[in-house]
Every structure is written in structure tokens, then in C-alpha cells.
Amino acid sequence: MSNENNKEQMKDTAEKTGTSAGHVQEVNKKGITDRKLKMAWTVVMSIISVVYVLPVLLVFMNSFKSNLYVGQETFKIPTGKMWVGLQNFVTGMNSDKTFPFIKTIWYSLVITLLGTLLILIFTSMAAWYISRVDSIICKIVYYLFAFSMIVPFQMVMYPLGNIARELGMNTPYTLPFVYLGFGAGLACFMFAGFIRSIPLEIEEAAAMDGCGPIRTFFQVVLPMLKPTMISVGILEIMWIWNDYLLPYQTLDRNQYKTIPMFIQGLKGSYGKVDLGATMALVTLSIIPVIVFYLVCQKHIIKGVAAGAVKG
């Protein structure tokens, strides 16, 4: 009886919509197939997410284990003799008697915030000029920005460190200018893609109202760059905060250290490492970035999508 009722319903639907019963059945099958495909993708992406999150969870768990059990019982939850509470955090932060851990936090914040601010301001202005001025020089500069994204840091790290020391740029307050050079490629590429999607008539109207180039950029163009500005800022903050090689090659290590440099200092003589303290400090360094990323991830997606409108 149920099959007959379904057939009658399909016939009634076909008569009302003017379509055949076979067409309705094909539509239903296609809808079921699409749902199954979405479920399959959800399962696959969930598995991939677990794989990516697992190392972070292992670092967090091992930060509460004694040094002996970190290497032997890596995948076990810390209980009983393995549990040491906050002892690893205290040991890690007090591992360098001559350099307080709180100073590394300050230097990392200064480098990250100043570097990101410089990248956002200068690359957005450069991208606006490149996108609006149709000249061969601007095209060459744009392609040089794009090319810089594929140049590995290892190719230039030794001469860069020497040049930075010679110019006196080996402090946390001058290192952001070095980050400006390395972060300009991606930032300018994303800004230029978004600016090309902005109608030129808006800027022409501002010019007719008496706005010069500087006022046009800061009062008209810059507010419209907010989605890409947030996206680029988040990406640059995560990169600079976690970077180890550039500060290590550039800074005067006797006076300044960032958090990654401080963590590397836990490695003792003959390769001996306090794994418990290392995991504790790694946890302290990645928690702010993870929280920051989770709060701002929707802005990253919006900014990347906005910058991909035209390129």
C-alpha cells in the first residue's frame, strides 16, 4: 500500500508541476546523493581535524608529566606518579637565571605588534598605488612582491643577520622593520587583489570633493580594506609570534630573547633536554595564538575570499 501511495503522490506532483514521475525520482536521488556526499566529506574532514589537533593535545598533556615519563609514556594521560602539576611551568620559567621569562614575553609582544603594524600600513599603501597606477614599473614591483613569497628564509638568513647587525637593527625595536621586508609579499598580494575589486569611481568622487591622495587612502580606501586588513593582521601575528630563525639570526642574544629562543635554551649540554619544562613553555606560547586564531578565524576566511575576487 505504501508503494502505491508513493507512486500516486509522485504522479500528483508531476501533474501539478508539469514534470514526469521519472524526473521527480531523479531529483530525489540526486538530493540523497548530495547529502551522502556531504556526510562523507564531513567525516573525512573530522578525521583530518583530529590528526592536526592531536599533537597540540599531546603537548598539553605532557606539560603536566615528569620529565622521566614524557619520553616513555608520551600518549598516556598523566596520572599518579606521572602527574607533577605546575612544577614544569615553574621549572621552565626559572630555567635561565640571568634572563627572566617575563622579558621574553615583552620582547615577543613588541616585535609581533610593531612588525604587524608596519606590514599593514606600508603594504596596504603600496598595494593601492600598484593597483591604481598602470605602469610597467608597478607591474614589475608587484611580481617581485609575489616572487618574494617563494624565496625560503634559509637562502638569505646568514647575510641578513650580518647586515642587520652592521646597521644596528639587532634589537626588538628595530627587528620589526626586517619583518616588514619578509611579510610584504603575501600582504601586498592580498591587498592588491581586494583593491582591484573596489570601484574606481569612489576614489574619483573623493578627488572631486577635494581629497588628495593621502586623504583618499586613509579616509576612503583604508576603511574598505578592513576585511583583508584583519585577515593579513591575523596571519602575520601568528607567523611573527612563533618565528624562531629570524630573531635568532638577528638579535643580540646576550641582551634579547623571544619566547622561542628562550625555549630553545632549555636544551642542556650533551643534548640533554628537560622535556617536561619544554612542553610547559611550548603550551604557554601556543595557547594565546590558538585562542586568538579561534576568535578571529571567520575574519581570515572573509579576508581571503575578499582578496580573491580579482587578482
pLDDT tens digits, residue range 11-21? 555 455 555 55
Cell digits for 175? 627587528
* CATH numbers and ranges of domains, the chain: 90-307 (1.10.3720.10)
pLDDT-derived band at 86, boundaries 50, 70, 90? confident
Please list, in sequence order, all residues whose beta carbon lies within 8 angstroms of the beta carbon of residue 290, skipping any fewer than 6 positions away: 56
Which residues on neighbouring strands pair with residue 273, listed in sequence order? 267
How many residues does the structure list for the chain?
A: 311
Lowest mean pLDDT segment, chosen from 185-194, 253-262, 284-293: 284-293
Q: In the prediction, which pLDDT does 120 show? A: 94
Identify the residue whose cell numbers are 514521475.
Answer: 21
Provide the mean pLDDT of the chain: 81
| Strand, helix or coil for residue 65 | strand
Confidence band, pLDDT 50/70/90 cuts, at residue 311:
very low
Higher pLDDT among residues 245 and 302, named by residue: 245
Averaged pLDDT for residues 192-205: 87
| Rounded distance between C-alpha atoms, residue 41 and residue 48, angstroms | 11
- C-alpha distance from residue 152 to each of 182, 245, 298 (Å): 10, 12, 29
Question: How high is the pLDDT of residue 127?
Answer: 92
**Stretch among 9-18, 98-107, 263-272, 274-283 having the lowest mean pLDDT:** 9-18
Q: What pLDDT digit, counting tens, does each position of 284-310 carry? A: 888 888 888 788 777 666 655 555 444
Residue 2 has pLDDT above 70, yes or no: no
Cell of 58: 599531546
Look at residue 303 in the predicted model and tell me its pLDDT: 58
Q: How far apart are the first and last CA of the chain?
A: 59
Using DSSP's 3-state secondary structure scheme, residue 267 falls into strand
Percent of the chain with pLDDT strictly greater than 90? 14
Sign for the pseudo-dihedral over CA of 288, 291, 295, 299:
positive
Q: What is the pLDDT of residue 4?
A: 52
Which of 263, 219, 289, 290 minimizes the C-alpha distance to 96?
Answer: 263
CB atoms within 10 A of CB 51: 9
Q: What is the pLDDT of residue 128?
A: 92
Give the pTM: 0.78
Name the one residue in this structure whose C-alpha cell is 583593491. Answer: 195
How many whole angstroms separate alpha carbon 233 and alpha carbon 296? 10
Give the CA count within 13 Å in the CB-facing half-sphere of 66. 8
Q: What values do phi and psi take at 267, rounded to 5?
A: -75, 120
pLDDT at 40: 86
* Rounded average pLDDT over 101-123: 93
pLDDT in tens, 128-166: 999 888 889 988 988 888 888 888 877 887 888 788 888
Give the pLDDT score at 295.
80
User: Is the predicted pLDDT of residue 96 greater than 70, yes or no?
Assistant: yes
pLDDT of 310: 45
Asked whether the predicted pLDDT for residue 233 surpasses 60, the reply is yes
Q: Sign of torsion, CA 157 163 166 171?
A: negative
